[in-house]
Every structure is written in C-alpha cells, then in structure tokens.
Structure 1
Amino acid sequence: MSDSRPTLLLVDDTATNIDVLVGILRDDYRLRVALDGITALKIVEQSPPDLILLDIMMPQMDGLEVCRRLKQDPRFAEIPVIFVTALGEVEDEAKGLAVGAVDYISKPVNAAVVRARVATHLNLFSQAQHLESLVQKRTSELEQTRLHIIQCLGRAAEYKDNETGYHVIRMSHFAHRLAKAAELPEHFCSLLLNAAPMHDIGKIGIPDQILKKQARLDSGEWTVMRQHPALGADILGQLDSELMQMASRIALSHHERWDGNGYPNRLKGEEIPIEGRIVAIADVFDALTSERPYKHAWSVDDTLAQIASERGRQFDPELVDLFLPLEPELVAIRQRYQDNQAVAQGQRLG
C-alpha cells in the first residue's frame, strides 16, 4: 500500500538537529533529509516535497540562498519553507520572510510548536492548491464560453453572406498555423486563433441585396461592400481587451494588399498589421477551396498556385513562402472541419 502522508524535506548541516526533527515528525510524515543546501536543491529537483524545514547557517550555501533559489523557480516557488535556526533576532526573521519563507522557528525547537507549525502550513498550502484548482476550472469554463461567443459572432456574419458553416473555424486554424510557422510568440498565436473568426463581422452592416447578389457588383455596390472592414473594426474596437483589439485590427486590415491596392486604407507592405496579412492568406485559401452558390471549389494545388502567383502583390511574400509548405497540415484542417451535408444544401449551422 502506498504511503499517502505528506513529504517533508529536513535541511540542516548538523546531524543531531536532523535527528531531533525526525523524532518529532516521523510518525505523521514521510521524511527526506539533506545536510547542505546544494543537496537539498537536488532533492527538490528530483522529487519536490510538500514542505521544507530549512536551517539558515550552513556552509557553502546558506538557507537564505536556498530559499531564494527555490522561490525563483516557478516549479518550486509555492512549496512552503519554514526556517528552523538559532538566529533569533528580529532582523534575522525579517530576512527569512523577505526571501519567501512562510514561518520561522527558533532553536532549540519545541516539539509541539514544530508539529503545530508544520500542520498549519500544510493545511494552508493544501487550501491554496484547492482554490487555485477551482480558479483554473472556472477560468477554463469562462474561456470556453468566450470562445463559443466569438465563433458565434463570426458565424453571425455568415448568415448575411454566402459563406459556409465552418469557414471561420478553418481559416482561424490556417492563420494560427501560419503564425506559428512565422515563429511569432505563442501568446500572439493564441490570440490570433481566437480573434480571426471575427474578421468579417462588419458584413452584418452590409445590405442583403449586395451581399447575396449573384451577379458582379457595380461600382456603387462595391463602394458599400468595402465599408465592411471599417464597420467590423468599429464594432469590435469598442472593447478594451487585447483579444478584441487584435480582432478589430484584423477586421480593418484583412482586405489590404501588400502592393497598396487593397482597401479600406490602401496600406502597403509592413504598414499592414502582421495579423491582417496572415488572415488575408488564410481567408483566401479557405474561400477558394470551398464551394459557394456562385462557384465550384478549387483544388488545393490550384489554390496554392494562385496564392503563390500573388506573392508580393496581394500577399506578404515571406508569409506566402511559409504558407505553401504547410499543405499537408492545411488539408488535415480542412478534413477535420468539413461543412456538413446540411450546409452544403444551403442550410446554416446554428
């Protein structure tokens, strides 16, 4: 049967002091010992304990330095450290607490005090971990709800257009994969995955007779259609969050062109935000490889050839060079998020 008792690490350069602590604590806890700070750190690295009782005055590396190093390592920073030392001045205690210790016991130790302090801080540590678990669970639930709302916002625009049900999901994954290929920071890539589905939200403000027109738009209609990036940026830019601000920039810039002939602001080259340049490629790739009421789906090879032909004109040339080799992953994403038969027959996903 496994021993479920908490594990304590006892650190002191004097074996007699270790023996005293072992005699006090061995009935209630699993114990590990170290006679110096360097060994203590190695033990923590191999098998982190639930609590550490740590002497201050030790050769080579004193207890203050051991505690400082533990608190600087995110893996071990939350382990409670109680100093057990003959240093008894107020300033000594203050130094110990300043480096991250939770308590301070003076030598010679009192058995009842040691047991009480250890039990108290193990309970506090356990409660803190439980609360952290609850917070993480709640945060995850809120994140899932937020992402669902974001996808719904993206699909809301599709009800006004001829897009298919999984377009916003596919293109957001294409964009995410391209961002990773560009070696952009992980946090940026995650934001992009969640912001990209809202790129066309501005189409909500475009009249149906323009969005759903089967024939070519005339110049006046194109003028109205080209308002949707600014409308989307206005809708999304009202919220002062990192995610919504990125979504707003994407909405405003994903129809800009590398050569400066895009809209609405005729931005050129790196004037276009990197997230807008990425989504421009992902959006076109999914649009061309998807069937619409007014066109057949292009093959992946033909679509990639078209994107390559627009290298340095419509699209950022460096991003195109990174996108083309991703073909196997792009195909896998398309297969994972295929539009169902109902959508293919003209119905919309809810």
Structure 2
Amino acid sequence: MKLTADRMYQASLDKDSSFEGTYWMAVKTTGIFCRPTCTARKPKRENVEFFLSVQEALDKGYRACKVCKPLEKLNETPPYIQKLLSELAEDLSLKIKDADLSERNIEPVTLRRWFLKNHGMTFQAFQREFRMSAAFKKIKKGESILETALDSGYESLSGFNERFKNVLGASPKNSKIQTVIDLKRIETPLGTMYACAVEEGICLLEFTDRKNMDKQFRSLSTALNAEIIQGENRHFGQLEEELKEYFEGRREKFDVPLYITGTEFQKKTWQLLREIPIGETRTYRQQSEFLGNPKAIRAVGTANGINKMAILIPCHRVIGSNGELVGYAGGIWRKQKLLELEKAVLF
C-alpha cells in the first residue's frame, strides 16, 4: 500500500504500531511532532504534515512530543535502569531496596511500573530471578549450595532454598538435571530486542514489540523443556558486540553460536536464509525452488514467520514476488531499514 498522507493520518488515528519508524506526524498549531502511536489527542487533518525522518521535522522547526518521545529509540531501556542492571550483574549479592532507589532520586513506583510493563514483574522480583539464575549456574558447575547461598546474599540456607524453588520450580539439590534459558534485553538502533541463550548458544533474538512474543517464548520453553528467566549468559557479550559492528556497517556475517530448534524442514529453510548474501534478496518462490519444492511457497513463508533469530537468520532478505516488502514480524519499516543498511555495508 502506498504511503500517502491520508494513509499516514489514518494510521495515527488507529495508533498503528506497524507504521513505527516509517513516518512522523507534526502538528502545525502546536509545533510538536509525534510517533504514529502517540496517545495524545489527534489534531484535525488540515493541521498536520508528515515527515519521513526525525531530522526533517527538527529542521522544519518542530519540537519532540513529551508524551511519545520520538527522539528516543523505540522501547529503549532508560540509562538509569541500564546502570542498575549493570550493578546487579557485577555483584550478585546486591539487593537494591526502595530506600536505595530514593537515595538515587529514582522513584520506586515509576521503576516498578517500568519493570511490570517490560518484564512482567516488579524490580524486586526481577532482582530475585536474576540472582537465582546466577546461583543455578554455580550449582550446576559443582559449587556447594551453602557457598552459593552466601554469595547470593542469603544468610539462611532455608530462605535460599525456598526462593530458589519458587523461581526455578525445583530445589537446589535437584536443579542439576534442569535447563535454564537466560533472557536479556539488548538495545539496538532499531529498538530493544529480547535475547535468549543456553550453554550451546543464542536460541532467540526478537524485537520486544514483535506480535505474539509470548507465543515465541512458550514455543522456545516447550522445545527445550526449560524455564526462561532473567540472567546473564556468556554468549550475550559476543552477540551485543557483533550487533554493534553490524549496525555500524563493519560486519557482514555473525559468528556468535546459535542453538536452533525446529522441524527438519524449518531448519533447512532457516539455513537457506543464512546463505542469502548480504545486500541481496530472494523471493519466497525462489526459496522454495532452492529447497527442491517449488510448491512449498506457503510452507517457506510460515517457516520464515516463526524464525526466532531476527537479523542473525536473515528472514528480512526474503521479499514478495512483486518486489514488495512483506511478512516481517518485527515490522515492515525495520525490514526496509535492515535492507538499506546491508546495501550500505557493501560500499
């Protein structure tokens, strides 16, 4: 569908998130410009104009809306929260209480709302889960339960055992037979992403606003028979560094280990995606022909749609037979941005 002014205005009325990143709407009477999904009251059609970049709106003299904050990266973790998370990662025994937050001029209620919205739990619950994830790994490596409890900031072994079981569903003694999937939010120029990893490698990378994200988590948890909990993983550092290099135009191929789950057909389809050279695209029909089954166009599309490794397994390089950018769970605007970036990487 052509991106006309009327279509953009209707998308703003609908607060349609699929248009995020494709345009910004400016209000002539207030001098403010907004995202398509801004919740502020919508102005009359004759009082608005549209821009295809933030810079265009700024150059025209418009100011950023304080409600939808169009100058910020989509769903970005605020810097002060990033700092808190870094502190927790460095000291697993650290317990940040509401009084500690107030001393840092952080409103506990505001922090609680952010974590409930973005992690589905309070900040205090997040800290407990984060500590138990680290404790699980220590015990699995052979460290004693008592030492692990003390390192995690617990003075009572019974208290540690109870909390451990509440988070992981099993006592520390029985945890060695379990598997845990580590979960972390990662910031990128195109928005915040969820990354999941196990010992073998990255098993999920998705934009946080992807539709049916809960279904992706459930599918992964079922496939690996494991709990997904907040925690660090040795593969996250490499992933973040390689993504940084990719978005800066300095990396064409990812080397971080992947742990892929799916049917044999899905795995073949995803491997074929990884063989599409950067800067090039293929159609769904071409992909099905490469698989030796020209009639499997719909099956190829379905496999692409449930790919859990955005960017790493580049399903964004597959387009419609008419050349249109279709079928990207992270949003068509991101598909366009990724393809533009990859062509730029080549020069």
Instruction: Name the TM-score, length of structure 2 as normaliser.
Output: 0.24
Instruction: Name the TM-score, length of structure 1 as normaliser.
Output: 0.24
The structure with more strand, counted as a fraction of residues: 2
The structure with more helix, counted as a fraction of residues: 1
| Higher gyration radius (CA) | 1
More contact order relative to length (CA 8 Å, sep ≥ 6): 2
